[in-house]
Amino acid sequence: MSDAIRFSLEHLKTRQKSIPLTEAVENLISTKKAAGRSLSYCRLLTGNLKKLTSFYPNRTVGELTKRDIDAFLASLATHLAPQTVNTVRRDCVSLWSFCVASEYADRNVAELSELASEIPKTPAVLTPTQAADLLNASHEADMTAFIAIALFAGLRVHEIKKLDWKHIDLEDGSIQVSAEMDTKRKSRRSVPIQPNLRLWLEPIAHSSGKVVNQNHRRRWLATRKRAKLTSWDDNCMRHSFVSYRLAAKPDRAAVASEARHSQAVLESNYLNLVRNSDANKYWEIVPQTVSLNISDEVKKP
């Protein structure tokens, strides 16, 4: 028997025992949930792959080809940004990787599909004035802690929501982020508490208990509205931390470790994004100076 015939027979066998695309997605999501992946990740994965099942509602995993995936991604490119299209493609690759391992497909056709060309996006950064206004607009202790930790320690929003006061050691001067909190890299890290962050946290710190209380989203939106920050990038507080930290501290390796970025990403995305004079003002934002009229000349989110 020739190799071509053997390959065709094996491919036919795989197609015959394949399953509907919708069922494959359900199985993947169930597997991810069982593995302990976060609810937000599973929701995003479900939403992205629902686009695929809507495009091919009556197909099995095994019968779809690279050309089919390219056609699907091309349809998304008509109304979604390239970065978003590539995120959907990434989840398709994960789906087919799961299906190959489960013998629903004989190869990862999504991995062969074309990447969309992305135009690098300059990170949105808050000005020192905006950062101060945001803190000044906080009317609740847990919201103040949330904002201050995001601005001056660079933790991601989902990490702060999982943070307990017992993870914040003001005496030692560090915040311990566990691997369970870091859903992106699944690794533990210790983030130093900067002098101005200490001043924000000391009056409101507890020995234990959740840092952020319930109904966070509603109160967070109200805080931003009071600060008159109607245009908002969800990562701008973290971007601000990295940008101003890099401008104030020449040790790039140390900043990369604190931010959990590679030095290459640090230099390509954040280097020279803000002025040194504005960095000095940013790190001088303390409870007594939130209403200072300071520079407003870096990129707005």
Q: In CATH, what number is assigned to the domain containing residue 19? A: 1.10.150.130
Q: What tokens does 296 get?
A: 């407003």
**294 found inside a domain:** no
Residue 60: strand, helix, or coil = strand
Q: Are residues 94 and 151 in the same domain?
A: no
pLDDT digits (tens, 9 = 90+) for 141-194: 999 999 999 999 999 998 999 999 999 999 999 999 887 776 565 678 889 999
Q: Are residues 233 and 267 in the same domain?
A: yes
Q: Give the torsion through C-alpha atoms of 249, 255, 256, 261, to 10 deg.
A: -110
**224 found inside a domain:** yes
Whole-model pTM: value is 0.65
**240 found inside a domain:** yes
- Its domain, for residue 74, covers 3-112
Q: Are residues 9 and 104 in the same domain?
A: yes
- Phi, psi for residue 164 in degrees, rounded to 5: -110, 150
Q: In CATH, what number is assigned to the domain containing residue 235? A: 1.10.443.10
Number of compact structural domains in the chain: 2
pLDDT digits (tens, 9 = 90+) for 40-78: 899 999 999 999 999 999 999 999 999 999 999 999 999
Of 77, 112, 147, the position where a domain reaches its end is 112
Q: Are residues 73 and 213 in the same domain?
A: no
Q: Are residues 140 and 269 in the same domain?
A: yes
Q: E strands, 86-242, where?
A: 168-169, 174-177, 189-192
DSSP letters spanning 157-202: HHHHHH-BGGGEETTTTEEEE-TTT-TTT---EEEE--HHHHHHHG
Burial of 2 (0-12, 13-18, 19+ CB in 10 A): exposed
The mean pLDDT of 76-101, rounded to a whole number, is 94
**300 found inside a domain:** no
**214 found inside a domain:** yes
